[in-house]
Amino acid sequence: MTCLLCGSDHHHLFAKAESFGYPLVYDQCENCGLVFQSQAESQAADPEFYATTYRRIYQAHEEPTAKDLWVQSQRAQHLIKILESLGVREIHTMLDIGASAGVLLQAFHQAFACQMTGVEPGDAYRAFAEQKGIPMFPSVEALIAAGPERFDLVSLSHVLEHLPDPVGMLRQIRAELLSEDGLLLLEVPNFYAHDSYELAHLACYTPHTLREALRQAGYDPVHFERHGVPRSGILNLYLTVLARPLGQAAPGSVRPERNVSVKRNLAMLYRRLVQKLFPHRAWLALPEGEDR
């Protein structure tokens, strides 16, 4: 088992957790500092897992729940605001990888009138998006086989942490799917605020390791944001990055992150403190009738 970011074989136990009744083991890379799920003990490493089991375990339904759609819609509006604040006015074509039910694509279509394409391995979610008329593919390989034009915007919202080869996927997007002056949009849980230990989370990104993953894959971040939208008014649960592809990727070796354990412990201590002091700002209310 090698590190998902730098490929080193040297790692040690970082944490044990449990998710949906499955034991989880997270190791830390001794070279770069990335915390990643030990694949020897991981259920999520099996590709079949995603097609059906993932949604059933996570959401208790194979089809989108109201809460799920609400969260995705709030995220989409936030991402649109970020792009607009950076002066992005025109997006002609958009690809969303891990498109789920197509909520992000539809929101961007409304805001920018862009053509939509989605990749979603989950059968029920993909069917849901297809019913709305969105061209959908079950995998990036299937999309590439269809010979698509390059896209102005490629997004992966809460997807990178699920991928067994995140740098490889980002490189493939740059090499085959994103236009030269296109934009990559990423959002992941922030290891320094979000629980992060979940059955299908293969890697736990910090601001540092996320930047390094992008650098290794040949991207230059043009915007980097820590925020809690839509769940928290205080906790920076998520990391959002907008990046441009570089012409030539000559990244050199991964720059290591030190003291990850100390930073994680302090972050979770801070989280417990603000949850106690400001419970209603730490966790914002969901729409009527929905549980956290």
**Sign, CA torsion 41/45/238/180:** positive
Question: Beta strands 219-227 and 11-19: pairing type?
Answer: unpaired
**Paired tokens of 177:** 């799917």
Binding residues (CB under 5 A) for Zn ion: these are 3, 5-6, 8, 29, 31-32, 34
Backbone φ and ψ of 119, nearest 5°? -120, 125
Taking the least distance from each CB to Zn ion, the nearer of 31 and 93 is 31
Taking the least distance from each CB to Zn ion, the nearer of 1 and 144 is 1
Identify which of 19, 20, 12 has the alpha carbon closest to the alpha carbon of residue 38: 12
Taking the least distance from each CB to Zn ion, the nearer of 216 and 240 is 216
Taking the least distance from each CB to Zn ion, the nearer of 152 and 212 is 212
Angle, to 10 degrees, between the axis of helix 66-85 and the axis of helix 103-112? 40
Taking the least distance from each CB to Zn ion, the nearer of 199 and 213 is 213
Instruction: Indicate the DSSP class of residue 146.
Output: T
| Shortest Å distance, C-beta 210 to Zn ion | 13
Identify which of 274, 160, 273, 163 has the alpha carbon closest to the alpha carbon of residue 219: 160
| Shortest Å distance, C-beta 26 to Zn ion | 13
Taking the least distance from each CB to Zn ion, the nearer of 6 and 91 is 6
| Shortest Å distance, C-beta 253 to Zn ion | 10
| Shortest Å distance, C-beta 203 to Zn ion | 10
| Shortest Å distance, C-beta 107 to Zn ion | 35
Query: How long a stretch of residues is the chain?
Result: 292
The β-bridge partners of 12 are: 28
Residue 130 buriedness (CB in 10 A; 0-12 / 13-18 / 19+) = middle
| Shortest Å distance, C-beta 27 to Zn ion | 10
Taking the C-alpha atoms of residue 271 and residue 275, their distance in angstroms, rounded to an integer, is: 6
